[in-house]
């Protein structure tokens, strides 16, 4: 079981949304040091000041995780000055929310760089010290969108499919070599943060941010392989494997209203979840 009390925790995209809430939940459970990486300097400062005022040990770094050289430099600085990270939340992510042909080439590149390559490079910096110590926990925030496709989310879906496959592969590597490092993959439905403002779901409930954060932290404490929310997301692989494709489209896409859920999308297009 992963122990949060006394742990050193790092959260990417940790100045807002569920990233901030997951960090706060860890502090409330006794984490010794919360390290926040975020590209928004104003929100980063506000979050660090607010949590520090409550007596917690919190530090923050302004960083764009698409800049690999910055990730390596700042990661090495953390390892050198603070010590190995016990729990890493790969949380930073962005979405554009347009039909594929409406994406600019720059938008395609940025979504894949933040959601996929950025997460990989952050993990690559901190995993070796976890393996050397024989303990640690990597938490990768994927999405239910990484399990089923949806209109107006093509590039985002592609990125989350990639995160899901990569995260599971790393878990298998860690387990096969008995490294002691745990990997949890998180696949939530829409979460009601600014990232998904305007999204509508008539049947599947949109997840509240605090509920999402608490569920992820509990999953870490219990060393769960997957953390899916709400409960119906656990049934998605079953339906996907059992039903013919057109039936699956009808059930998930039309009857559950998922295919029209992004019609009113107004969300911020370049923030952490």
**Other Cβ atoms within 10 Å of 271 Cβ, number:** 22
Residue 156 is among the residues annotated as catalytic for this protein: yes
d(CA 185, CA 272): 17
Sign of CA dihedral 144, 146, 148, 149: positive
* Secondary structure of residue 71 in the 3-state scheme: helix
> Cβ distance 139 to 18 under 8 Å?
no
* DSSP per position, 3-52: --TT-EEEEETTTSHHHHHHHHHHHHTT-SEEEEEES-HHHHHHHHHHHH
Rounded to 10 deg, the angle between the 41-53 and 17-28 helix axes is: 20
Number of H helices, E strands in the chain: 9, 7
The active-site residue out of 56, 99, 156, 234 is: 156
Instruction: Give the full edge-to-edge strand order of the sheet including 136-141.
Output: 58-62, 33-38, 8-12, 87-90, 136-141, 181-188, 226-229
Give the Cα-Cα-Cα angle 185, 190, 195 (nearest 5 degrees). 100
Q: Which residues are catalytic?
A: 156
């Amino acid at each position: 079981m992963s122990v949060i009390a006394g742990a050193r925790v790092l959260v990417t995209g940790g100045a807002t949304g569920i990233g901030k809430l997951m960090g706060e939940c860890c502090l409330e459970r006794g984490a010794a040091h919360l390290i926040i990486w975020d590209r928004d300097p104003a929100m980063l400062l506000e979050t660090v000041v607010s949590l520090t005022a409550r007596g917690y040990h919190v530090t923050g770094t302004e960083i764009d995780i698409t800049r690999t050289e910055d990730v390596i430099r700042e990661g090495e600085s953390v390892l050198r000055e603070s010590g190995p990270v016990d729990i890493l939340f790969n949380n930073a992510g962005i979405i554009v929310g347009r039909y594929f042909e409406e994406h600019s080439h720059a938008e395609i590149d940025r979504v894949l760089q933040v959601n996929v390559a950025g997460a990989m490079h952050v993990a690559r910096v901190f995993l070796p010290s976890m393996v050397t110590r024989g303990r640690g926990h990597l938490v990768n925030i994927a999405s239910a969108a990484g399990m089923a496709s949806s209109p107006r989310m093509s590039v985002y879906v592609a990125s989350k499919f990639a995160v899901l496959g990569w995260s599971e592969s790393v878990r298998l590597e860690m387990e096969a070599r008995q490294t002691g490092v745990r990997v949890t993959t998180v696949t939530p439905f829409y979460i009601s943060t600014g990232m998904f403002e305007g999204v509508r779901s008539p049947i599947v409930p949109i997840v509240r941010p605090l509920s999402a954060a608490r569920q992820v932290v509990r999953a870490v404490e219990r060393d769960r392989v997957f953390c899916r929310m709400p409960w119906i997301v656990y049934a998605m692989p079953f339906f996907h494997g059992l039903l013919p494709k057109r039936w699956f489209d009808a059930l998930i896409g039309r009857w559950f209203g998922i295919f029209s859920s992004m019609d009113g999308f107004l969300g911020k297009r370049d923030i952490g979840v």
